[in-house]
Amino acid sequence: MTEPSVWQKRIAGEWHGRPSLFDATGTWCGFEEIRRSSDFVDGVTTYRMDGGLIGGGPLAGQFRLGAPFSFGVVDSDQNRVYTGPDFFGTGQPYGGFVDSHYYGPGWQVDLFTWNQVLPDGETQVYSSVLHQGWSVVGCFNGLYTRVPSEVDALIEAETRNGPVPYILPTKESGAFAGELELWGSDQKLRGTVSASLALDPIDLLRTRRTISWRGAGLDRSFTVETRRDGNRLFFEGPEAWGNAIGFGRASFQSVHLTDVGKIRGREFSIDASPGMSAGTRLAVVYELFDGGQLDSVLHGLLEWHS
């Protein structure tokens, strides 16, 4: 391969962030001070990750870096293969989003990593849900930038906002709305979808959510009563059922519709800060399934309108 892939070009450069570490229950444990970069030289792509853990509690011994990580990549916009020595697995890009699943011998965990480049092209929403077998043992998530002049401000904001829990407005009706990209399971762009996540609070712990998607052959709307219990959400019908768990500002959901449709998603509150604020943006990724088979990936940025 003489030229890097489209995804490799999209993520070129050095990215700086301070993602938060959470344990399996969603309890905030500390920060990971990280610099990530990748380069494409003579047809070979290499990823590098350097930094250290701040805090971490009982997880510190497992997730503190003993040395910088690096791993080779078979660069492709289809299946990106991570060839070690520090990570082994694959990733599949869908435009500005990549779904990666790999194993890290140094951390001794299996990682489900979702990396979403926002429309500005300079900000990434990153999460890695960490597994031992099928059991979740923790999660890293946060924002990254590759703009040198914005690094200090981002690190300061991540320090303040990283532990903030995912809580959407509980007394104000409105909707998160925007244009999302829909990518088929074949990793080809199907088109643009007008999306809305409307919220009608019932009380401080229950909200009626109506999700609407229109465009690119996707025409679906469903309403579900959502109940919050701490950092957990429960979707309790009438048109969808499931649950979610929050790791700070990121809420990871599994939703079963009343036909064969299923949704595996992540909603990340970009502007979440201490205190109650409705003016946040949501970076969303929804993987849409037809039964047990992936049909498409819907992702992008939604903004709040009251």
pLDDT tens track, the chain, 306 positions: 578 889 888 988 899 999 999 999 999 999 999 899 887 777 778 889 888 899 999 999 999 888 888 888 888 889 999 999 999 999 999 999 999 999 999 999 999 999 999 999 999 999 999 999 999 999 999 999 999 999 999 999 999 999 999 998 888 899 999 999 999 999 999 999 999 999 999 999 999 999 999 999 999 999 999 999 999 999 999 999 999 999 999 999 999 999 999 999 999 999 887 765 556 899 999 999 999 999 999 999 999 998
What confidence score (pLDDT) does residue 251 get? 97
What is the distance between the alpha carbons of residues 282 and 164, in angstroms, rounded to a whole number?
A: 14
What confidence score (pLDDT) does residue 146 get? 95
What confidence score (pLDDT) does residue 194 get? 98
Domain ranges of the chain: 6-161, 174-305
What is the distance between the alpha carbons of residues 63 and 78, in angstroms, rounded to a whole number?
A: 30
What confidence score (pLDDT) does residue 198 get? 97
What confidence score (pLDDT) does residue 279 get? 65
What confidence score (pLDDT) does residue 261 get? 97
Report the amino acid identity of residue 67.
A
What is the distance between the alpha carbons of residues 279 and 273, in angstroms, rounded to a whole number?
A: 10
Residue 181: name the closest of 94, 299, 265 by CA.
299
What confidence score (pLDDT) does residue 276 get? 53
Sequence-distant (6+) residues with CB within 8 A of 45 are 4, 8, 38, 39, 72, 73, 74, 75
Residue 100: name the closest of 74, 121, 80, 72 by CA.
80
What confidence score (pLDDT) does residue 42 get? 73
CA distances from 42 to 46, 78, 82, 90, 149 (A): 11, 20, 17, 21, 30
What confidence score (pLDDT) does residue 231 get? 96
- Whether residue 58 is preceded by a cis peptide bond, meaning omega within 30 degrees of 0, is no
Whether the model pTM is above 0.85:
yes
Architecture of domain 6-161: Beta Barrel (2.40)
What confidence score (pLDDT) does residue 275 get? 60
Which of these CATH numbers, 3.30.365.10, 2.40.128.20, 3.30.390.50, 3.20.20.100, describes 174-305? 2.40.128.20
